[in-house]
Chain A
Amino acid sequence: KAGVTQTPRYLIKTRGQQVTLSCSPISGHRSVSWYQQTPGQGLQFLFEYFSETQRNKGNFPGRFSGRQFSNSRSEMNVSTLELGDSALYLCASSPTDLAGAYNEQFFGPGTRLTVL
């Protein structure tokens, strides 16, 4: 079974631009979560989607948005990029929206975004 795929893997943008990142979950997984990872902050939760519905949102400004399609693929968008948005953006998928001890989340390789 193919793992979680994210595209593109690397991206360079300039301040003020916008960017769209894509995530394809493992086949059959309906839950997709997005995280931002920076050296100083570690992993921070952005949002979670399950069956095309946003279930939870982290503490990020409205410039960060996302959506999920009927085939469970997800995109996240960042508008008006700032230097501080430079980070590794990780997507994770799970067959369930329950984070119990018997459920696992599988991460993709991430998209490395650099804002100049």
Chain B
Amino acid sequence: KNQVEQSPQSLIILEGKNCTLQCNYTVSPFSNLRWYKQDTGRGPVSLTIMTFSENTKSNGRYTATLDADTKQSSLHITASQLSDSASYICVVSVETTDSWGKLQFGAGTQVVVTP
């Protein structure tokens, strides 16, 4: 069973509107949580990285929140643009961070921004 679940699987939003993506995880012990953006035909690009002690982190119009107690994270996109159309992937790292192989990937949320 995947230890990182993302919802919704996909969503369509109008340009200029806001949206929020969800990530629930069961990874334990937990070290850090990352959000990646992956454009079609490209590799993922890091948006934010948060440790268990951080509640929120922003990168431009992207704001990630983390509740380590409930094991939930969200990614909020403000004033969406057409270039925000992409897959957004939540990645959780176990406490022992001695290998990139211990990252747990969510399946991603596909976001489509329409004019």
Contact = CB atoms under 8 A, between A and B. Distances in A.
Interface in A86-116: 90, 92, 94, 97-110, 112
B100 A97 contact: yes
A44 interface: yes
Interface of B: 2, 31-32, 41-46, 49-51, 89, 93, 97-103, 105-108
A107 B89 CA distance: 13
A109 to B, nearest CB: 5
A55 B89 contact: no
Chain B interface main SS type: mixed
Given A43-B105, A45-B103, A107 B97 contact: no
Given A100-B31, A101-B32, A57 B101 contact: yes
A62 interface: no
Given A94-B100, A99-B98, A104-B49, A42 B44 contact: no
B46 A104 contact: yes
Chain A: interface residue count, which band?
Answer: 20 to 34
Nearest to A96: B100
Given A4-B43, A92-B43, A55 B105 contact: no
Contacts of B43: 4, 90, 92, 107-110
Contacts of A106: 46
Contacts of A41: 107
Contacts of B101: 33, 45, 47-48, 55-58
19 contacts: A42-B106, A42-B108, A44-B105, A45-B101, A48-B100, A56-B101, A57-B101, A58-B101, A90-B43, A90-B44, A92-B43, A97-B98, A99-B93, A99-B102, A99-B103, A101-B50, A106-B46, A110-B41, A112-B41
A24 interface: no
Contacts of B98: 97-99
